[in-house]
Structure 1
């Protein structure tokens, strides 16, 4: 099992940033690689156990993810991938926020642990760390002005 962690400081108060992130079905609102998302049973996107089905931008395929935890007090969300075009297994990720009191900003950390074959490890580290996590953080920085 490998671990990929990406972090960033975003110029938004933690409560403002958390409102953008906590909706498990709202990834297309702030992540440019996600074209659309729907909760499969039409239920609430903050219900533990709900499954979102997302279409990747540019026809890159479908990803299905299950919400494992959602904590408003800890500003964190944990989910697993059920199906993906990526060659990963046992994928579990957590996105969490912490307040940065200097300037009323937020520290964001996105971590994933997963199994991947040795020949795909470098590519998946780069894809997940840069193209998924950092791209999401960069988009949030643009949305909140820096």
Structure 2
């Protein structure tokens, strides 16, 4: 093995360089909200399943439109002016589950996946679970999860629970 200054390990200002290792992968964080509603599951699901129409029932969304070139994308503007785009990943009318992901957004998170599931609870009752998992970019993923729960999921579920009580179910 050759020796001498030209063959020594590279140094930077007298220190030996260390190999570059990949950064540790951030842990996924989950935000979650559950609500039991005095509404038929089919009626609640019809509102959720209409992916571009989130603004029709969510009080925090000022506008929600299908992207003109892709019906699986919805462009949202919140009541405070925040803009984001979401992609519909799957929508299962039989199981009443919708999954989506952020395409563009201002939140300090990556790899966001949202899910809304409606379950019949007998008669004219149902329960809805809204979850999102993501990898936070900042140190406080729990605070961001709480922001989604308190600022997005809970108000949306409350609106779904009280919406349409006077509208007959056509299922």
Q: Quick check: TM above 0.5?
A: yes
> Matched residue of 1:94: which SS?
strand
Corresponding residue to 1:108 among 128, 133, 142: 128
TM-score, with normalisation over the residues of structure 2?
Answer: 0.76
What CA RMSD, in Å, does the superposition of the two structures yield over aligned residues?
A: 1.4
User: Tell me, which stretches of 5 or more residues in structure 1 are unaligned?
Assistant: 45-49
Matched, 1:17 2:44: yes
Specify the alignment match of 1:51 in structure 2. 73
TM-score (norm 1): 0.88
Give matches, 1:1-146, under 5 Å.
1-41=28-68, 44=71, 50-59=72-81, 61-101=82-122, 103-145=123-165
Gaps of at least 5 residues in structure 2 are 1-27, 166-171
- For the pair shown, the structure with the greater C-alpha radius of gyration is 2
Tell whether the 8 Å contact from 1:11 to 1:144 is kept in structure 2 after alignment.
Answer: no
Instruction: Please give the alpha-carbon distance, in whole angstroms, between the structure 2 residues aligned to 1:99 and 1:85.
Output: 35
Q: Where is the helix percentage greater, Structure 1 or Structure 2? A: 1
After TM superposition, which residue ranges in structure 1, 4 or more long, deviate above 3 angstroms? none
Instruction: Provide the C-alpha distance between the structure 2 equivalents of 1:43 and 1:86, rounded to a whole number of angstroms.
Output: 23
